Amino acid sequence: MREIEDLIPNSIKFTSSSDDLQEQCYSFIGSLFQKGRSPLTIKEYSRTISHFIVFLNNYLDHSVRLQDIKNLDKITINSYLSYYREPTKDHLSADLKKRFHHQRFFFLSKIPVNTLGQDIIFFKKKETQELLSNLEKTFNGKVRTGQELEDGLKGQKNLINKIERLRRNNCIKFYDKNKEKSARSVARCTSVLRTFIDFLIKKNNWEGHNIKKIESSRFKQRTDNKVFEENEIIDFLQYLDPDINKITLSTKESAWEQRRDLSILYFLYSSGLRVSEVLQFKKKNFPFKEFIKIKGKGDKERFIVVLDIVNEKIGKYLDSYSHSNHELDLLDEDPLFIKLTKGVKKKISARDIQRSMKKNIQRFDGSYPIFSTPHSLRHSFASHILRGGADIRTIQELLGHSNLASTQIYTQLNEKALLDVYDKSHPHSKDKI
């Protein structure tokens, strides 16, 4: 039990459940561990189940018992899924101005990457350019509410309408940590609940359960707004490369950390790795051979290709680290990608990589998909090698997909890219008429 508890964050201990249910929650987590699920997956399952139990605790107004889970009705389950989708639904008012005052915004750019057709004239106006300059000063890299914008831009007419036009052209974005969950997130939550309750059904010999009446949430795969084009990824990586571009580091960064983050991005993009997969290597694994075997989801093994440039960038990261930290040399059994916390070597986390990429995207002044994450590099890898002529089965093997349907989203993505080119170039396309 102690080993299983150590896999779960301190904030998640199923304390809203009675002893009988708490025991079976840990038993379920133990079954995931026995099946070889990754620590990250176990944490996410634990977090979702704990969230569900806390909701039931408030919904039922008592500590949640195993019997309560058995007797759940369809309305209660759907109520939770609705709450999960939008936990802080805005009930302020139908008043547009009041909602604007409470909404928080983040400034992205004075120059939109792709201007919507109906807003081209708007951006050409001198007053719009002046507004963007004033907004840049008002935001100063911080999150601001609509009320703060209105106070800082006194006398600006139709400010709400103008902010909305800037937002839809990606000059400004909403900032909300509690934003509505995507359909994909809801589908994942439903799947976790189904798996958890199925476990309880088998363990306790229940004859049936209302979870069976909950339809699987359907969602549309969305990768087109998260994928770099080839020229975009090259520009982005070159911008971050200290051998090419002498960008100014923040006070919290050092040269070796910059090179570490860059080498991870090269690794993710060139090999199609998941973020969790790039963290499995130790110092002794480097330098890599051209073909190496890795463990993916569920401990499934597959081969990936490692390009020379990946070995080059990792080598420079390690050299830079050695020059900066003479007393903390990396040993063979140390993680390949590390961070220093109060002088102690620790393996960098997936969250660290996500934060680093988000920070680098925000300071990059070139063209990029604003929703990109480290996982976007995996999408980009698959899309680009498919576009280059690789067959779908090869891509399936390289990505480690069990189901070919997971890989086929990239064929749809590239069909869209072809249609976009057609619409922009063919004389009979609607864009040319």
SS3 category, 354: helix
Query: Can 194 be counted among the known catalytic residues?
Result: no
Query: Can 401 be counted among the known catalytic residues?
Result: yes
Print burial letters for 274-308: b (CB count within 10 Å at least 16), e (below 16).
bbbbbbebebeebebeeeeebebeeeeebebebee
Print burial letters for 234-258: b (CB count within 10 Å at least 16), e (below 16).
ebbbebbbeeeeeeeeeeeebebbb
Query: Can 378 be counted among the known catalytic residues?
Result: yes
Q: What is the Cα–Cα distance from 9 to 45, expressed in whole angstroms? A: 11
- Which residues make beta-bridge pairs with 107? 172
Query: Can 124 be counted among the known catalytic residues?
Result: no
| DSSP string for 122-133 | HHHSHHHHHHHH
Q: Catalytic one among 165, 316, 375, 379?
A: 375
Q: Catalytic one among 297, 345, 359, 387?
A: 297
Q: Catalytic one among 274, 313, 316, 379?
A: 274
Q: What is the Cα–Cα distance from 330 to 272, expressed in whole angstroms? A: 26
Q: What is the Cα–Cα distance from 176 to 358, expressed in whole angstroms? A: 16
- Which residues make beta-bridge pairs with 338? 347
Contact 132, 166 (CB under 8 A): yes
Query: Can 297 be counted among the known catalytic residues?
Result: yes
Q: What is the Cα–Cα distance from 274 to 415, expressed in whole angstroms? A: 24
DSSP H helical ranges for 300-408: 308-324, 350-363, 374-387, 392-399, 404-407
Query: Can 410 be counted among the known catalytic residues?
Result: yes
Q: What is the Cα–Cα distance from 201 to 204, expressed in whole angstroms? A: 5
Active centre residues (catalytic): 274, 297, 375, 378, 401, 410
